[in-house]
Structure formats: structure tokens, C-alpha cells
Structure 1
Amino acid sequence: MTASGVHKRPIALAIFLIVSGVIGLVASFQLTVEKIRTLENPDAVLSCDFSLIVQCAKNLDSAQGAILGFPNPLIGLIGFTAPVVVGAATLAGARFASWFWVVFNIGIAGAFAFCLWLAYQSIFDLATLCPWCMVVWSVTIPMFWAVTLRNLTVGAIAAPRTLRRAAAAAYSWVPVITIVGYIIIAIVAQIRLDVLSYL
């Protein structure tokens, strides 16, 4: 994803949306399967439970794991369909209006904020790191930055020219921005939970 190519049909972004969306769907599906297992057998040892700290069970059984009254993974199964569809349509030649990109961006921003909240809850309240949840975070974070910076650069999101130039410059740095985000979460988790001692 280079800044010079954002004004053209965003092929690289489309491929990224498909790949990250599929990864998110797989993670959400796995979490759904594990949730069903806990409903069938509350004492079941889940395949994603590796230690006291690295596990899925505590997250899935918590209030935070069903924030809307049903398991969060179902949100992922629905939500991650959108980037796959948008990416595939873009590859097929579809060109969406600015309002569509704004609505899509709002949805991804909501997912990004939700993931940050869940990461905070997981680290500071539940004191666990859910492997499949972290997979969801790992694709949502770069998806947010890639779509937001692209939309600012091409003017889909109305912004001052200075901000648009800054977004264009930052667009090619999405991988670095993403890695920095991962590192921040990892450092916070290590300081709070001493994760390495449980591996």
C-alpha cells in the first residue's frame, strides 16, 4: 500500500481487506465453536486454553464476552463479512461513492474501538489474553489505519489539505504503525500480567 497508489483503484487495499477479513472470520468462527463447547460442557478444556493467562474460557464466560447479550464472536462472524465483500467487489471493478467509504470507515472505527476496549478489559479486568481474540485485534488494527488513512488521502473523508497530505505520507507506513500498536499492547500486557512467566 503506497501513498502514490491511493488515488487509483485500491487493489492492494482490496486484497488486504479480503485476507484480513477472512482471518477475522476464521478467528470468530473458532471462538464461536469454543463458546458452543462451553455451553455443552462447562468443564470442558478449550483448545485455546494454554495457561492461566493465555486462554479463551474466561473471556468467553465473562460479561465482556457477550456485551450485547449474545457472544461477541457472532458480531465478528457478521462484521468481518463486510471487508471481504468490499475487497472482492473492489477487485471486480466496483467503485464506491465517498459516502459508502465513510460508512464503511465508521464501521471499522467502531470495530477498532471495540477491540481496544476488549483488550483493556482482557488485560486489566479479566487478567487473560485470549489467543483467538488477539487474532481479531491483530487484523482490526491495521484495517482501521489502512482504510482511514486511504479515505483521508483521497478526500472520501472531508479534511483540511494539511491533514490529507499527512495521511498520504502516513499511508505507506501502515505496517509500521500497526507493529507499534502491537508492541504497545504487548508491553502493557507484560507489565500488567507478566505474560512471559506463564509461557
Structure 2
Amino acid sequence: MSEQRTRPVVYAVWLIIASVLGWWAAFQLTLEKFAVLEDPDTTLSCDVNVFVQCGTNLESWQGSVFGFPNPIIGLTGWMAPLVVGVAILAGARFPRWFWALYGLGITGAFVFICWLIGQSFFVLHTLCPWCALTYFAVIPTFVATVLQLFHNGTIPVSESARDRARNLGVWVPLASVLAFALIILLAQIAGVDVIGSLVGMIS
């Protein structure tokens, strides 16, 4: 099997797309944070209503978990999957230790996002639009990366299991849609009226 056929091209393309989406969301949140710092009473462009907004999230302690605004993590962190995606398309082949560290980083991002989802819904009772775009980028990236780690042998499994991981890759988009639907459901359970807000925006 040639290198061209063994390279995870679809995975690489998704990494590039997800990185652009995630970085753009982080950039917009950074601009909103600057606006709040300049004028605490300003109305942010992402503040649709009391439920769908980013102002509450940015001003909370959860919005600066490590002592600086969370969007800065996105501005820097999304560069990693972008570089990996471009490198794969260019023909780069990474050793197992690299994939292990990369997978650990993506897993950390996924865990952090899950924590932020819980804090946003069940503590702050809001859904940040730009944060939602980040969720949409991180969740399928995590799923696709786990499958890639199985397929390339970073996670040691049998040859048949590696083949199944490769075949399961086609279900990542559906899994992502279901994950996003679960996020909306959790928001509704937490009292964040996302559906009503979206209907109001459309009407």
C-alpha cells in the first residue's frame, strides 16, 4: 500500500477545517473580551439574549481558569492541529511518541471543553455562541483523533481493530451531530432556552 493511500488525508483536511473554525471562535471571543475591558457596560455582538450570550461567560472566573482569558488558549492551541493537518497533507509521517503526545493534548482539550459546557449550562445558565462553535470543532476532532490513534497503532490493538477504527471514521460526522444535539438537550435541561432563542431570532 502506497504512502499516499496510507496517509489519513480526510483526517488531515478535517484538522485544518476544525482549526480554522476553532481559531476564529477564539479570535472573536478575544475581541469581545477587549470590548468588555474597554467598556464594561458595552453590548457585545454575541449577546443575543439572557440565555444565548458570551458576556456572562467572559466575565466569570470560569472564563479565565488559568488566570488569563480562555480564548488565548484557543488562539495558541488550535495552531497544533492546523500544523499537524498541513504536515500530513505535505507527506509528513510522525513517530508513535508524537501521536501519543498529540492525542494527550486533544484529550485534554476535550475534557476542558466538557467541563466548560457543564459550567456554562448548569452554573452560568448560558450558551455562548462562539463557545458553541468551539464545541463543534473540538468534539469531532477528539473522536477522529482517537480513531486515528487506534488506526495508526499508537494505541496498541489487533489488526482487525485497527481496520474497524478506520472504517468507523465515516461515522464521525454523524457522531458530531449527535453530540451537538446532546449539548442542546443538556442546555434545555439546565434551563438555557436555546431552542426558544433560535426561534426568536428566526422570527
Q: Give how far 1:154 is off.
A: 2.2
Contact 2:54 2:128 in 1 (8 A): yes
Three-state SS of the structure 2 residue aligned to 1:172 is: helix
Larger mean CA deviation between 94-103 and 119-128 belongs to: 94-103
Contact 1:6 1:154 in 2 (8 A): no
Partner of 1:192: 190
Partner of 1:75: 73
Q: Give how far 1:10 is off.
A: 1.0
What are the Cα deviations for residues 93-130 of structure 1, in whole angstroms up to 9, with x where unaligned?
Answer: 11111111111111011001111110111000000000
| In 1: Cα distance, 2:151 partner to 2:59 partner | 41
Amino acid at match of 1:77: L
- Which of 36, 50, 53 in structure 1 is aligned with 2:51? 53
Higher RCO, Cα 8 Å, sep 6+: 1
| In 2: Cα distance, 1:161 partner to 1:32 partner | 45
Amino acid at match of 1:33: L
Segments ≥4 residues shifted beyond 3 Å: 159-166
Amino acid at match of 2:35: R
What are the Cα deviations for residues 12-38 of structure 1, in whole angstroms up to 9, with x where unaligned?
Answer: 111111111011111101100100110
Partner of 1:119: 117
Q: Please, what is the CA RMSD of the aligned residues?
A: 1.8
Shift of the 114–54 alpha-carbon distance from structure 1 to 2, 3 Å rule, reads same
Three-state SS of the structure 2 residue aligned to 1:180 is: helix
TM-score, length-scaled by structure 1: 0.92
TM-score, length-scaled by structure 2: 0.90
What are the Cα deviations for residues 133-154 of structure 1, in whole angstroms up to 9, with x where unaligned?
Answer: 1101100000001111011122
Contact 2:150 2:165 in 1 (8 A): yes
Does 2:146 correspond to 1:151? no
Amino acid at match of 1:42: P
Contact 2:184 2:194 in 1 (8 A): no
Contact 2:110 2:139 in 1 (8 A): yes
| In 2: Cα distance, 1:93 partner to 1:11 partner | 10
Does 2:102 correspond to 1:104? yes
In structure 2, the gaps of 5 or more residues are none
Where do residues 130-149 of structure 1 align in structure 2 (5 Å cutoff)? 130-149=128-147
Three-state SS of the structure 2 residue aligned to 1:157 is: coil
